[in-house]
Amino acid sequence: MCGIVGYIGDKEAGQVLINGLRRLEYRGYDSAGVSLTNGDELCVVKRPGKVAALSQAVQEEPGSLRQHRVGVAHTRWATHGPPTQVNAHPHLDRSGRIAMVHNGIIENYRDIRAHLEQKGHAFDSETDSEVLAHLIGDYYQGNLLEAVCAALQKVEGTFGIAVICQDEPDQVIAARRGSPIVIGVGKNECVVASDAAAVVAVTQQVIYLDDNDVAIVTPGAVDIRDLNNVPVNREISELEWSDTSAELGGFEHFMLKEIHEQPDSIRNAIRGRMDFDNGTAVLSGLGTTPREISEVQRAIIVGCGTSMNAGMVGEYAFENFADMPTEVEQAAEFRYRNPIIKASDFVLAISQSGETADTLAAVREAIQKGAWVSGICNVVGSTIARETGRGIYLHAGPEISVASTKAFTCQVAVLLMIALKFGRCGRLSCTKGREIAKAIESLPMLVEQVLERNDIIAKEAEKWVETDHAFFIGRGYQFPVALEGALKLKEISYIHAEGYHAAELKHGPIALLESGIPVVALVNEAPGKEKTIGNAHECAARGARIVGLITEGDTETAALMDSVIEIPKCPDYVAPVPMAVALQLLSYHVARLRGCAIDQPRNLAKSVTVE
């Protein structure tokens, strides 16, 4: 899986495709390739490594390539087979006249491959994708659309594909099942992509394909069918962000830019959604009434990675504000363990991209079992947003760095608002609701105050350059932030870091402590503070260096720590946001000093569209 770009129009296709791939580099990848055709020839150029190497290779090809007006391109994140040139996309059929790029996993590719080998097909790569290309070619009888539809009906698994054929150079065929495809429609040109970031430089008008859609893409027009070649209608949407949104804007890395964008992104997430008179939140996207909310008996929050950590903050808020039993589930576990779900359950799916494969599968399982399902997504028009039919958009803007920052803090802000709304439909008083609403409104200001401490945090990071292991500990609302802080550090600095509930240290993890290992103790003003300080002392007694993430002005706690990072004084339920921002800055500066690839950490992809 990773990035797909296809183009047909009146521009030089190779240049458009390379530029599109560059805009998808943030997703993480290990090889890249492009295929172009003009009807007389079909050429393929592939390289392991970065898009820059592919661009140089294309420049070295004969000048005739600059005349081609149709093509497909891909950045690959290895699933089947290592990141080599032969495993890179695009893949060709047996005739060499059809080229395909593919995201997803073909689960029955071994059976298809064995069938095709019996028919004389020979394969060059170790990938499941090449098998699909050969299958399309095996069905080709002069009509590419019919061949694609026939092949995809035999496929089990997920796919987002773009296909071109030397014999039909006037079209690109695109299709999806479980892996996103968006088509940008311009004047006399169209762009097919797995991510709107590759489209926005050409047009703001886009069409999102649904599962089992097949699109015939020609210059300036899109005809969409289902797998049985029956026409279907899909609306044209307007992208919310501009071409300049995906530029560094003077920052050294996208991650640093996005950390500093958080005051504005959180303002966008809460703007127009607070009702201070009634002490509640206005969340029309949930599409429900106070009476319907009052009938909900249980909340289940599903997500993966950073989104799951945000969900854990939401769990505390739902239980504290709404007196509602709440569970947080890893989305893949939720899908496969046959969960007990009732019609009175509220299932909330969290995904920055809205395309996370495990979370999408959890959504479908919850819908199948009759629950009320809603989504929290950042990408408008994403699959989870469309399939839930209701939910809350973050409006955080594009997040380019693989390690999520502003999506997390916006997810927490939105979860607090949803919990507040649920609470006000129950026993939460108007007075308490107003207090919580004011605290949520203060989040952008709290983040700005943390960002002012950037230099202090960067100085702390200098002590971490030679670190191999780190602990993050906390309780209550702070525990999910400890998990998120550890996740950020390991993602971008490659330091082995673990987040623990502070009370769990004595139940095993403390055996790992050695002299000099940093332990970040989250000890702002909140219940359990003194107990966490005691746990920090236990770590110090075993030679650990204690870094206190404390409330500003808490000199008593500061005196007990080896070093401190301060956050502004605030209620414990909003503290996860400024605390997370402080830990994001710490992780960033540690990774920068260690010379790591911050925006594109090794082995990771931005949108995880395979299981």
- Catalytically annotated residues: 2, 606
**How are beta strands 205-208 and 221-226 bridged, if at all?**
unpaired
Cis ω before 576 (30° cut-off from 0): no
Decide: residue 41, CB within 10 A, 0-12 exposed, 13-18 middle, 19+ buried.
middle
Q: Furthest-apart CA pair in the chain: how many Å?
A: 79
Tokens of 545: 């260096």
User: Per the structure block, which two tokens stand in for 119?
Assistant: 């028919």
Q: How far is CA 534 from CA 519, 548, 590, in A?
A: 13, 12, 27
Residue in the block written with tokens 């409104």:
441
Tell me how far the alpha carbon of residue 238 is from its chain's centroid.
21
Q: Which amino acid is at 225?
A: R
CA proximity to 147, closest of 170, 165, 127, 129? 165
Retrieve residue 383's tokens.
């699959």
Burial of 165 (0-12, 13-18, 19+ CB in 10 A): buried
Residue type, 530: E
Q: Are 352 and 307 in contact (CB under 8 A)?
A: yes
Sign of the dihedral defined by the CA atoms of residues 260, 280, 412, 368, in that order: negative
Q: For residues 413 and 415, give the distance between their C-alpha atoms in angstroms, rounded to a whole number.
A: 5
**DSSP strands (E only) in 38-97:** 42-48, 70-76, 91-92
Is 388 exposed, middle or buried (CB count within 10 Å of its CB: 0-12, 13-18, 19+)?
buried
Taking the C-alpha atoms of residue 318 and residue 297, their distance in angstroms, rounded to an integer, is 12
Kind of pairing between the strands at 159-165 and 213-218 = unpaired
Contact 274, 440 (CB under 8 A): yes
